[in-house]
Structure 1
Amino acid sequence: MESRRWPIVHILGILNMNRTLSPLTAARLKSVSLVICIALLLSGCSSSSDSSAGGSTSEASGLQQVSLQLNWFPEAEHGGYYAADVHGYFADEGLEVTLLPGGPNVPVVQSVAAGRAAFAVTNADRVLFGHQAGAEVVALFAPIQNTPRCIMVHRESGISKLADLRDVTLAIGTGPAFFQYMQKHLPLTGVETIAYPGSIGPFLANKRFAQQAYIFSEPYVAKQQGADPVALMVSEIGYNPYASVLVASRKTLDTQSDLAQRIVRASARGWQKYLDDPAETNALIDSINPDMDAGALAFGAEQIRPLCDREAPSAPLGQMTAARWQTLIDQMVEIELVDADKVSAARVFDDRFIATTTTSP
């Protein structure tokens, strides 16, 4: 069942992505899109109506069916959630979890707030934007403690930290919060910003070119193409939202706290397994994402591991603190993306389901 559903959902999502696909992949996906749409209509789309209630119980497996909406196509940043499926941790909790790949046009937070998905994966700043817009979801578990966002530059540029970013062309997407924070806190002398091209082609052609990136993605591709990239982590200037955060609606927490406890517990086991031994999980992701190869996933897992380190080694995996959330709120207020009277640290997260002890990665 799962082996049929994964490719269908992934291919539908990937048709809307704004990252560059190989011509062969794009042609193959477009040619089968109509068939895939029909297949989806015939096989399980009806489950969305049950998502806000935690889903129905499968007659075949006896497991409670639950949807988990991802914020992007399957990559290493989702590794722990896939590991919970691959290694049976969701099943151990009586759950049959369908992980739904996302993409640039998938309204992740809104889907959970509206009950179209029981749970989702997003980043902490997106949780705040949801509250600002009235879509109140609650963060339950934050495996990636330090943002993977970075600015990628050439080593030949001599730039080794964000404070020294100058005299380059910087390709950046429209309206990312981290860049607005950079503009507020860095001189950016001689930096010319242009629209993010969706590929590393311009980067490869110009040593004075810089671009937005994720530490586990674009630097790997650039290295494979012969470049010597340096990743300047956005967190070094203090902008550091939690990433790959598991969220749910407040209704789910109020009416099905046991379900929330079980999915957090299974996800924590999955993330610990992925950090310890990602190979089997990466093999699954490789099989369902045609743009991820084994090398890229191995690189991604290696890069993500230190991002999951907690401030205190004894702290549980996925921990969150009110202080971190308040810092992020203050930063969003400073750059005028949220209003202080609409977003409260006390309402954006709930850490009661996080285990009190977790083996450190």
Structure 2
Amino acid sequence: MRNGILGAAAGAMALFGAGQAFALDEVSFGTNWLAQAEHGGFYQAVADGTYEKYGLKVTIVQGGPQAANRALMLAGKTQFFMAGNLLEPFSAAAEGVPLVEVAAIFQKEPQVIIAHPDTGIDKFEDLAKLPTIFMGKDGFASYFQWMKSAFPGFKDEQYKPYTFNPAPFLADKNSAQQGYITSEPFEIEKQGGFKPKLFLLADSGFNTYSTLIETTQDYLKANPDVVKRFVEASIIGWYNYLYGDNKAANALIKTDNPEITDEQIAFSIQTMKDYGIVDSGDAVEKGIGCLTGEHVKSFYDKMVTAGVVKAGLDIGTVYSTDFSCKGVGKELKK
């Protein structure tokens, strides 16, 4: 899957660039949660016509608690899906599920451990001193196993279930909780009246990509030109969302998810910039969305060491480096 699958894509794009009239290719992109600023670049490419410029009519299928958007893609009902992180394609490699990641919009997963200020927790490894860390069962089975492997002192006894309610954390100064750095800290500051200490897992070595563009292996083989155009238009959408006028995209986000506020959207955008969630690492020189085999293998090796995934998987089947790291859209960064 790594190389040699673009075929006629360059010729197709040359025709679009020549301004000839073609029917738009209709595709659907399923997100993995309710509409939010963390999906902003995709909404931007819809709102400002970038997808249409690339010969695409894109429908964003919003995710949520009851959504099954990956299953819809596997069934051929949609063409693309927003994968949360690399653990999902690793599982696909183990189980023979024919998925393939074609771009990594987030160079850093926004997963964060949140602690109270003024409690002597000043660096990531200090979190091992706390008696309680509230986290979901998926986090306990994944990044917490890595935490135990990479840093001495973390132990299973610290785990308490996280119910996506910050009240238990707010009530216990000697606790920490999981969250997305673009989301939970905003609510904690509003409810608790203090700025929490934030420890981004990515900055301590949990270097999975996040918000990956995923398709099926069969769709990629049959439609490399469509995949190329979708990836490149999405990348341009992300540059314009972060560094340009994003009002129309935010209006679409609020149409899909009326409960989200302008304040939350603004917080999320600024946090993505401040922490380099999208535009950092390889993306700085090679462009947003950059996905490399070296990065994927680095994270895979860490997960094998931590006992999270099996050794010996052919992970090369679940990603392609053909569509990113080309510097597309870099000139739009202001």
Give the TM-score band, short-chain normalised. Answer: 0.7 to 0.9
* Counterparts of 1:108 and 1:311, CA distance in 2: 29
Secondary structure of 2:210's aligned partner? coil
TM-score normalised to structure 2 length:
0.83
* Counterparts of 2:101 and 2:312, CA distance in 1: 19
Q: Is the 8 A contact 1:219 1:229 kept in 2?
A: yes
Q: Is the 8 A contact 1:141 1:247 kept in 2?
A: yes
Q: Is the 8 A contact 2:291 2:324 kept in 1?
A: no
User: Counterpart in 1 of 2:170?
Assistant: 204
Which AA in structure 2 matches 1:227?
F
Shift of 1:80: 0.7
Shift of 1:181: 1.0
RMSD: 2.1
Secondary structure of 1:356's aligned partner? coil
User: Counterpart in 2 of 1:143?
Assistant: 105
* Counterparts of 2:113 and 2:130, CA distance in 1: 14
Q: Is the 8 A contact 1:167 1:191 kept in 2?
A: no
Which AA in structure 2 matches 1:208?
N
* Counterparts of 1:160 and 1:117, CA distance in 2: 45
* Counterparts of 1:228 and 1:96, CA distance in 2: 42
User: Counterpart in 2 of 1:184?
Assistant: 149
Q: Which ranges in structure 2 are unaligned for 5 or more consecutive residues?
A: 1-21
1:123-272 → structure 2 map (5 Å cutoff): 123-165=85-127, 166-176=129-139, 177-186=142-151, 187-188=153-154, 192-225=158-191, 226-272=193-239
1:1-361 → structure 2 map (5 Å cutoff): 62-122=23-83, 123-165=85-127, 166-176=129-139, 177-186=142-151, 187-188=153-154, 192-225=158-191, 226-277=193-244, 278-305=246-273, 306-312=276-282, 313-344=284-315, 346-354=316-324, 356-357=326-327, 358-359=329-330, 361=333
Q: Is the 8 A contact 1:167 1:190 kept in 2?
A: no
* Counterparts of 2:168 and 2:155, CA distance in 1: 21
Secondary structure of 1:236's aligned partner? helix
Secondary structure of 2:46's aligned partner? helix
* Counterparts of 1:111 and 1:332, CA distance in 2: 28
Q: Is the 8 A contact 1:329 1:343 kept in 2?
A: no
* Counterparts of 1:208 and 1:247, CA distance in 2: 39
Which AA in structure 2 matches 1:287?
T
Q: Cα deviations across residues 259-304 of structure 1 (Å, max 9, x unaligned)?
A: 1011111101101111113333223212321331101111101111
Q: Cα deviations across residues 217-253 of structure 1 (Å, max 9, x unaligned)?
A: 0001111221321111111331111111101111111
Q: Cα deviations across residues 151-204 of structure 1 (Å, max 9, x unaligned)?
A: 011113231222011224211101321122112223127962211121112222
Secondary structure of 1:157's aligned partner? coil
Shift of 1:147: 1.4
Q: Is the 8 A contact 1:81 1:270 kept in 2?
A: yes
Secondary structure of 1:331's aligned partner? helix
Which AA in structure 2 matches 1:309?
D
* Counterparts of 1:221 and 1:204, CA distance in 2: 11
* Counterparts of 2:259 and 2:136, CA distance in 1: 21
Secondary structure of 1:142's aligned partner? strand
Q: Is the 8 A contact 2:188 2:194 kept in 1?
A: yes
Secondary structure of 1:292's aligned partner? coil
Q: Cα deviations across residues 34-58 of structure 1 (Å, max 9, x unaligned)?
A: xxxxxxxxxxxxxxxxxxxxxxxxx
Relative to 1, partners in 2 of residues 1:231 and 1:279: Cα closer, same or farther, differing over 3 Å?
Answer: farther
* Counterparts of 2:71 and 2:306, CA distance in 1: 23
Q: Which ranges in structure 1 are unaligned for 5 or more consecutive residues?
A: 1-60
Secondary structure of 2:38's aligned partner? helix
Compare relative contact order (CA 8 Å, sep 6+) and give the higher one, 1 or 2.
2
